């Protein structure tokens, strides 16, 4: 059993056994109490699900560093949040420029078609961003690439739309 000693700020392990393996020989050494220092506190076991979304950027960076120092798995979610915060302003500019380009096109289909195309492209961007983010959370895609990929693709779409505007 392990308990937190709040006065000494250490963990106390009771009724333990230390297993030592030397070559083909294994020995078990029992003990009644030992103090140990772990990079964990009892508050670290509290649930912090989605709490990282409320962190400031310095707090988020500190939390990522703490998780990395502990060797924690699944820090992709935190890295995604960190990187996504820097890509959002670019996404706003890209989607605004695409909206201006779509509205500048003269079409016989009317204004409704332009509005529908603008909404469709914005929805496609959000879908693409969420899909890339979900793939990155599994570890299959680099988090930095995942948050920038939609911006890169939609910048290309914006350039294609710009070059197809009748002059």
Spatial separation of the C-alpha atoms in residues 8 and 43, rounded to whole Å: 16
Q: Where are the domains of the chain?
A: 2-36, 47-163
% of the chain residues with pLDDT over 90: 38
pLDDT confidence band for 48 (50 / 70 / 90): low
Rg of the chain over all Cα atoms, to the nearest angstrom: 26
Q: Give percent helix, percent strand, percent coil of the chain, each to the nearest 5.
A: 60, 15, 25
What strands lie across the sheet with 25-36, from one edge to the other? Answer: 2-5, 10-22, 25-36
pLDDT, tens only, 127-136:
999 999 999 8
Which position has the token pair 């420029």?
97
Give just the sign of the alpha carbon dihedral 70, 136, 145, 48.
Answer: negative
């Amino acid at each position: 059993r392990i308990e937190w000693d709040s006065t000494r700020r250490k963990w106390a392990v009771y009724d333990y056994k230390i297993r030592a393996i030397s070559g083909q020989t294994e020995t078990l050494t029992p003990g009644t109490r030992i103090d140990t220092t772990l990079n964990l506190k009892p508050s670290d076991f509290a649930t912090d699900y989605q709490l990282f979304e409320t962190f400031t950027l310095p707090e988020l960076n500190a939390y990522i560093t703490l998780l990395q120092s502990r060797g924690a798995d699944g820090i992709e979610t935190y890295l995604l949040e960190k990187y996504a915060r820097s890509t959002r302003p670019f996404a706003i500019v890209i989607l605004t420029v695409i909206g201006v380009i779509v509205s500048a096109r003269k079409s016989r289909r009317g204004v409704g078609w332009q509005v529908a195309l603008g909404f469709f492209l914005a929805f496609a961007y959000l879908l693409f961003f969420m899909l890339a983010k979900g793939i990155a959370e599994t570890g299959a895609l680099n988090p930095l690439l995942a948050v920038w990929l939609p911006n890169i693709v939609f910048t290309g779409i914006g350039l294609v739309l710009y070059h197809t505007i009748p002059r």
